[in-house]
Structure 1
């Protein structure tokens, strides 16, 4: 599943390097998450934070990462709470969602959550 820098203990320098550390279906899912987030938040800047691919609008907007049996998506507690009904079939915690590797990624839902977070951050920036 994983190879390269992260497996060797060196944190990846950027999202490209992070994704390059995976093979096959996991790599494809990470690329799909990245593309979906980019389209939903075109003004966001890519970065690495907490060892995970991150999108920022001045502050952290969302993170995502691969785990052994799922893709983790971290849209902050507000992003999870606002979509509680839609996320009922997934394992969630305060600010995290687990999308199992054996299931299709809900990319439309991911985009909705990202757009919610963009709006939320814009409102925070206004004061």
Structure 2
């Protein structure tokens, strides 16, 4: 896949099922945090809040990934036991998507930390 220049270009290159799932996440985060800015960063669709990366989201052949922040993953790790996680990402599949409530809570944690100017 060639390097996308925009979130729309990135999403348009995905299969319809993955695209629909990442569009759901995109819309949910934008509704929860109005005024987010869309950009591409590190080759990934990125939503920025207060000029800082709020979330990244990607799709690969075997899974999708959501990057809310290491703080959010650590704080909500008890709710992430059904997913493969790294320090910065949560991997999920179409068979085991991230529930909207969980995404919202992960985003709220990161918004709180950005508002507190945590580095």
TM-score by length of 1: 0.85
Q: How does 1:1-127 map to 2 (within 5 A)?
A: 7=1, 9=2, 11-57=3-49, 58-124=51-117
Distance 2:80 2:102 in 1: 9
State the Cα distance separating 1:101 from its structure 2 match: 2.4
RMSD: 1.6
- Give deviations 1:89-116, integer Å, cap 9, x for gaps: 1100111100122223312211111121
Q: Which runs of 5+ in 1 are unaligned?
A: 1-6
The answer as to whether partners of 1:29 and 1:105 remain within 8 angstroms in 2 is no
SS at match of 2:109: helix
- Give deviations 1:61-114, integer Å, cap 9, x for gaps: 110100112210011211110110111111001111001222233122111111
Distance 1:18 1:107 in 2: 22
State the Cα distance separating 1:45 from its structure 2 match: 0.9
Rg comparison, structure with higher value? 1
The answer as to whether partners of 1:38 and 1:44 remain within 8 angstroms in 2 is yes
Distance 2:55 2:97 in 1: 20
